[in-house]
């Protein structure tokens, strides 16, 4: 893992045989690089920071801008919710952006998350290898945007695999694998099971919101074929909660 929290730093791109020198001021909020090569990069996204700029001058600070200040050709491929932390992938250059966007669209990117949910959640007896599946279509809750809801009539197909990692005090730690990638999918699916994520200010009741200082959802695993044909990427990031 490489953190650019220093007066100067050197990034080596061995496949191009070049060295990029970046000189920056000391920043406590500098991006933490988990992977960096000439074609793509992965950084650790902190909870509470936007991936891309929002609307209004107060929402222009975002992880994409911080990364692009250091790696000018970094481009957005996917997003994580503002409240979610963990692994975030970016492309380097338009060609790599097209390739990685296609990989996401064709479900060739495997993502894993860790969450802590309210109550005791047990896997059903039919779970295979400990994994169960939530298959509930999701749609925008137009009167209450940006919230999403389960809508059996007009919702888009949405599938999440999940398994129990352990039980804690009035809570359960779970691992999640989104098969589809709908907005707020993991949060709404767990709410639909009756076990909202601790700290979820959109989908949890007040007392569950107050049990954590942030949303306890972390993008912990990322696995995909390298967009330029190099060794596959298989990255992990432990949750800090």
Q: How would DSSP label each residue in 142-154?
A: GGGTT-EEE-TTT
Q: Which residues of 107-132 are buried (b: 16+ CB within 10 A; e: fewer)?
A: eebebbbbbbbbeebeeeeeeeeeeb
Same domain, 90 and 122: no
The CATH number linked to 207 is 3.30.2350.10
Which residues have C-beta within 8 Å of that of residue 116, sequence separation ≥ 6? 168, 171, 172, 173, 174, 197, 198, 212, 216, 241
Give domain status of residue 225, yes or no. Answer: no
pLDDT in tens, 86-133: 999 999 999 999 999 999 999 999 999 999 999 999 988 767 778 999
Q: Which of 54, 77, 108 is the last residue of a domain?
A: 108
Q: Which of 56, 87, 108 is the last residue of a domain?
A: 108
Give domain status of residue 233, yes or no. Answer: no
Same domain, 75 and 127: no
pLDDT at position 26 over 70: no
The DSSP bridge partners found for residue 88 are: 43
Place of tokens 């992977």: 35
Which residues have C-beta within 8 Å of that of residue 136, sequence separation ≥ 6? 150, 152, 155, 158, 188, 189, 192
Dihedral angle sign, alpha carbons of residues 65, 66, 72, 73? negative
pLDDT at 19: 30
Q: How many structural domains comprise the chain?
A: 2
Same domain, 74 and 144: no
Same domain, 21 and 49: yes
Choose, from 15, 29, 73, 81, the residue flagged as catalytic.
Answer: 81
Query: CA-to-CA distance for 205 and 211, rounded, in angstroms?
Result: 10
Q: Specify whether 81 is catalytic.
A: yes
- Residue 175 belongs to what domain range? 112-218
Same domain, 116 and 193: yes
Give domain status of residue 229, yes or no. Answer: no
pLDDT in tens, 31-83: 999 999 999 999 999 999 999 998 888 788 999 999 999 999 999 999 999 99
């Amino acid at each position: 893992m490489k953190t650019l929290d220093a007066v100067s730093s050197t990034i080596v791109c061995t496949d191009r045989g070049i060295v990029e020198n970046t000189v920056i001021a000391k920043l406590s909020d500098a991006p933490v690089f988990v992977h960096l090569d000439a074609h793509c990069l992965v950084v650790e996204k902190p909870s509470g920071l936007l991936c891309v700029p929002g609307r209004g001058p107060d929402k222009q600070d975002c992880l994409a801008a911080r990364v692009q200040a250091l790696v000018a050709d970094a481009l957005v491929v996917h997003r994580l919710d503002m409240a979610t932390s963990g692994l975030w992938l970016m492309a380097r250059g338009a060609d790599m952006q097209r390739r990685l966007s296609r990989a996401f669209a064709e479900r060739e990117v495997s993502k894993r998350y860790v969450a802590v949910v309210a109550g005791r959640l047990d896997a059903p007896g039919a779970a295979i290898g400990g994994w169960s599946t939530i298959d509930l279509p999701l749609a925008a809750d137009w009167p209450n945007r940006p919230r999403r809801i389960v809508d059996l009539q007009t919702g888009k197909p949405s599938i999440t695999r999940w398994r129990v990692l352990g039980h804690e005090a009035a809570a359960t730690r779970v691992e999640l694998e989104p098969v589809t990638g709908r907005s707020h999918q993991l949060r709404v699916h767990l709410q639909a099971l009756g076990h909202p994520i601790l700290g979820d200010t959109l989908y949890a009741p007040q007392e569950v919101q107050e049990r954590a200082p942030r949303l306890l959802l972390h993008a912990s695993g990322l696995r995909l074929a390298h967009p330029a044909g190099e060794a596959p990427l298989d990255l992990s990031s432990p949750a800090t909660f």
